[in-house]
Amino acid sequence: MLLPPSLYSRLYQCLALLCIGLGAMGIVLPLLPTTPFLLV
């Protein structure tokens, strides 16, 4: 199953964004419980 190169780059961008998003969530989620205390 061969895909056009443009579709591959689009897919690669989506995967990269997904990885970045998951990484950001992994950083942000543990911090969420402490954020209200920092803001007060």
Q: Using one digit for the tens of pLDDT, what is the confidence trace for 16-25?
A: 999 999 999 8
DSSP assignment letter at 34: G
Q: Copy the structure tokens of residue 36.
A: 């209200």
In degrees rounded to 5, what are phi and psi of residue 3?
-110, 150
pLDDT at 1: 66
| Angle ∠(30,35,40) on CA atoms, nearest 5 | 160
pLDDT at res. 28: 83
pTM for this predicted structure: 0.57
Which residues does the chain have with pLDDT short of 50? none
Domain map of the chain by residue range? Answer: 5-39
